């Protein structure tokens, strides 16, 4: 790590052929970024190479998606082959074999009973699809009054109107004024006073699931369609659920006929050392949204996994009638299916869907070694997700977090920040030496930005 850092040339030597005016960047402070762009030019295994020629270790698997590491030739070859064979096929009233193969392969690794697969192109589309399936399912089953959707504070469910509405990140909602009506939120479970530095799942807070009972009491169960939660919220800097919380949410949903949706866009495909968070927590939702790791981040793709109950409940009308008036031009895109199948092959051959389990303890202890450094108010971990929360600097929320992002990047570590927390989720090919390198750079940065 030290060698790599001392080899760094002058930072931010951006080739002057790159003009930055036209590209309006997503979720980015554009004007600030363009003064000193952080650009990657290539990637291999655990590392990005920045345009100024430095090796930057990927502490975030891209955006929580490159689970098998970068530059996987098997995926590239499958994509190239597919493009040359069948570049596109319509998926409305038509199909292609690979879509069925891919769905079968996903069903094989799905949590018990969640083996009906609807394809999308992103996490946001998966979320909006799952919400719409929930509404359509109830309507098809004579319960059209079930229209209310429940999210949770500090949840992130993408950027569609559905996902933004059930989402609970204030900044993501505030700018848009009008969102879906009939949406409520249960409280988040982040509790520094009771659970800071919990190394295992937090002890306190399972009772927060009872917020759902309060909403049932307020509105009537017959008005509530579904509850959506991330089993472990990622974008709000890794908030592992209190012990027993998800089980309790499942019980309340069952009691009142409410569908439970797990948004596993981040936690899916091995992040917690099990194929899905549903396996990790032993709680099976009715619908599960995925994306990201489904193709190792290579080709946009997402999938909603549905239970037999939900799927079969939609297959009740006349046979010649479309059951779900929903889908995308690029649902089950042949190239995405090829990339996805190649990705699942790699996950299987290299045991990546469970590899995190053997590293989780090392990961946890490495992260918790940072306890006691300046401004560190919490350290959280679950599987191969982790976060370090820092106190805001003089009340300026996010300023210290931003400095951490820049400082780490300059010293060879890419990670995500949310407010004043830094979050990490390395590719699942990570070795202990990589963890040491990440934590060493992180620790130095924490001291530097103090
Ligand atoms: N849901 C969760 C839990 C996510 O973390 C994300 C993205 O980070 C999304 C949905 C949205 O996915 P996408 O950016 O692919 O639309």
Beta sheet of 183-186, edge-to-edge order: 116-120, 302-306, 287-290, 259-263, 224-229, 148-152, 183-186
Final residue in a domain of this structure, among 297, 329, 349:
349
Residue 297 has pLDDT above 80, yes or no: yes
With cut-offs at 50, 70 and 90, classify the pLDDT of residue 18.
Answer: confident
Give the span between the Cα atoms of 304 and 261, in whole angstroms.
10
Final residue in a domain of this structure, among 349, 370, 405:
349
What are the pLDDT digits (tens) for 122-135?
999 999 999 999 99
Percent of the chain, pLDDT > 90? 95
167 and 316 in one domain? yes
ipTM for the complex?
A: 0.99
pLDDT of residue 17: 76
Give the span between the Cα atoms of 267 and 264, in whole angstroms.
5
Ligand 1 pocket, residue 120 CB under 6 Å: no
Contacts of 404 (CB under 8 A, 6+ apart): 390, 415, 417, 420, 422, 445, 446, 449
Say how many domains are in the chain.
Answer: 2
Cα 97 to averaged position of ligand 1 atoms, centre (Å): 28
With cut-offs at 50, 70 and 90, classify the pLDDT of residue 11.
Answer: low
User: Which has more pLDDT, 182 or 18?
Assistant: 182
Ligand 1 pocket, residue 235 CB under 6 Å: yes
Q: Are 304 and 126 in contact (CB under 8 A)?
A: yes
DSSP secondary structure string for all residues of 217-285:
HHH-GGGEEEEEE-SS--TTT--PPPTTHHHHHHHHHHHHT-EEEEE-TTTTTTTTSSSSHHHHHT---
Q: Are 292 and 65 in contact (CB under 8 A)?
A: yes
Report which of 281, 439, 276 is spatially closest to residue 362, judged by C-alpha positions.
439
366 and 241 in one domain? no
* CATH number of the CATH domain containing 411: 3.90.1150.10
Task: Please report how the helices 334-349 and 352-368 are oriented relative to each other, as an axis angle in degrees rounded to 10.
Answer: 70
193 and 135 in one domain? yes
Mean pLDDT calculated for residue range 7-17: 57
Ligand 1 pocket, residue 264 CB under 6 Å: no
Stated pTM of the model: 0.96
Residue 283 has pLDDT above 90, yes or no: yes
Residue 249 has pLDDT above 80, yes or no: yes
Cα 17 to averaged position of ligand 1 atoms, centre (Å): 32
Ligand 1 pocket, residue 156 CB under 6 Å: yes
Phi, psi (degrees; rounded to nearest 5) at 129: -65, -45
Q: Are 287 and 138 in contact (CB under 8 A)?
A: no
To the nearest whole number, what is the mean pLDDT of the chain?
96
Cα 266 to averaged position of ligand 1 atoms, centre (Å): 7
Residue minimizing CA distance to atom 1 of ligand 1: 157
**Residue span of the structural domain in which 425 resides:** 2-68+354-449
Mean pLDDT calculated for residue range 49-76: 97
pLDDT of residue 292: 98
Residue 293 has pLDDT above 80, yes or no: yes
The size of the chain, in residues, is: 450
With cut-offs at 50, 70 and 90, classify the pLDDT of residue 13.
Answer: low
Contacts of 125 (CB under 8 A, 6+ apart): 158, 160, 291, 302, 328
256 and 288 in one domain? yes
pLDDT of residue 4: 46
113 and 182 in one domain? yes
Residue 348 has pLDDT above 70, yes or no: yes
414 and 358 in one domain? yes
Residue 15 has pLDDT above 80, yes or no: no
* CATH number of the CATH domain containing 111: 3.40.640.10
Residue minimizing CA distance to atom 7 of ligand 1: 158
Among 65, 128, 157, the mutation site with the greatest number of ligand 1 atoms within 8 A of its Cβ is 157
358 and 342 in one domain? no
370 and 222 in one domain? no
Give the span between the Cα atoms of 227 and 32, in whole angstroms.
37
Cα 208 to averaged position of ligand 1 atoms, centre (Å): 24
305 and 157 in one domain? yes
414 and 330 in one domain? no
Number of other residues whose CB lies within 10 A of the CB of residue 330: 19
pLDDT of residue 182: 97
Cα 263 to averaged position of ligand 1 atoms, centre (Å): 8
DSSP secondary structure string for all residues of 315-350:
--S-TTS-S-----TTTT-HHHHHHHHHHHHHHHHT
With cut-offs at 50, 70 and 90, classify the pLDDT of residue 3.
Answer: very low
Among 124, 289, 302, 425, the mutation site with the greatest number of ligand 1 atoms within 8 A of its Cβ is 124
What are the pLDDT digits (tens) for 179-238?
999 999 999 999 999 999 999 999 999 999 999 999 999 999 999 999 999 999 999 999
What are the pLDDT digits (tens) for 261-276?
999 999 999 999 999 9
Residue 2 has pLDDT above 60, yes or no: no
Residue 251 has pLDDT above 80, yes or no: yes
287 and 177 in one domain? yes
Ligand 1 pocket, residue 290 CB under 6 Å: no
Alpha-carbon Rg for the chain in angstroms: 22
395 and 268 in one domain? no
Final residue in a domain of this structure, among 289, 318, 349:
349
Residue 7 has pLDDT above 80, yes or no: no
Q: Are 9 and 54 in contact (CB under 8 A)?
A: yes
What are the pLDDT digits (tens) for 143-179?
999 999 999 999 999 999 999 999 999 999 999 989 9
């Amino acid at each position: 790590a030290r060698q790599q850092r001392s080899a760094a040339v002058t930072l931010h030597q951006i080739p002057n052929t790159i003009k930055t005016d036209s590209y309006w960047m997503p979720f980015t402070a554009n004007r600030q970024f363009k003064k000193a762009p952080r650009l990657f030019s290539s990637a291999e295994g655990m590392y990005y190479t920045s345009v100024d020629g430095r090796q930057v270790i990927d502490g975030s698997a891209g955006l929580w998606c490159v689970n098998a590491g970068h530059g996987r030739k098997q995926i590239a070859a499958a994509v190239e082959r597919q493009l040359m064979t069948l570049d596109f096929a319509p998926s409305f009233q038509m199909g292609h074999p690979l879509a069925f193969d891919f769905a079968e392969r996903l069903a094989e690794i799905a949590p018990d009973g969640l083996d009906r697969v609807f394809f999308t192109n992103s996490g946001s589309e998966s979320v909006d699809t799952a919400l719409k399936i929930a509404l359509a399912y109830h309507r098809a089953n004579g319960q059209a009054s079930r229209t209310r959707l429940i999210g949770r504070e500090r949840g992130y469910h993408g950027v569609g109107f559905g996902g933004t509405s059930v989402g609970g990140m204030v900044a993501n909602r505030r700018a848009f004024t009008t969102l879906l009506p009939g949406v409520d939120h249960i409280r988040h479970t982040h509790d520094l006073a009771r659970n800071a530095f919990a190394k295992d799942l937090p002890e306190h807070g399972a009772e927060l699931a009872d917020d759902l009972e309060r909403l049932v009491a307020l509105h009537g169960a017959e008005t509530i369609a579904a509850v959506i939660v991330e089993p472990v919220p990622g974008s709000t800097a890794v908030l592992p659920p209190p012990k027993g919380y998800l089980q309790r949410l499942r019980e309340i949903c069952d009691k009142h006929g409410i569908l439970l949706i797990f948004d596993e866009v981040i936690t899916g495909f091995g992040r917690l050392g099990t194929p899905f968070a549903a396996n990790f927590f032993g709680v099976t939702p009715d619908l599960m949204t995925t994306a990201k790791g489904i193709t190792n981040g290579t080709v946009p793709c997402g999938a909603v996994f549905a239970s037999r109950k939900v799927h079969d409940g939609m297959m009740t009308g006349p046979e010649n009638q479309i059951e779900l008036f929903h889908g995308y031009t690029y649902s089950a895109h042949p190239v995405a299916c090829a990339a996805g199948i190649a990705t699942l092959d790699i996950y299987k051959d290299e045991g990546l869907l469970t590899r995190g389990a053997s590293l989780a303890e090392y990961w946890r202890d490495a992260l918790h070694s940072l306890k006691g450094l300046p401004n560190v108010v919490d350290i959280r971990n679950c599987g191969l997700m982790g976060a370090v929360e820092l106190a805001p600097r003089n009340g300026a929320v996010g300023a210290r977090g931003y400095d951490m992002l820049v400082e780490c990047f300059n010293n060879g570590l890419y990670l995500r920040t949310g407010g004043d927390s830094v979050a990490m989720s390395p590719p699942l090919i990570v070795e202990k030496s990589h963890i040491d390198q990440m934590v060493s750079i992180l620790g130095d940065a924490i001291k530097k930005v103090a």
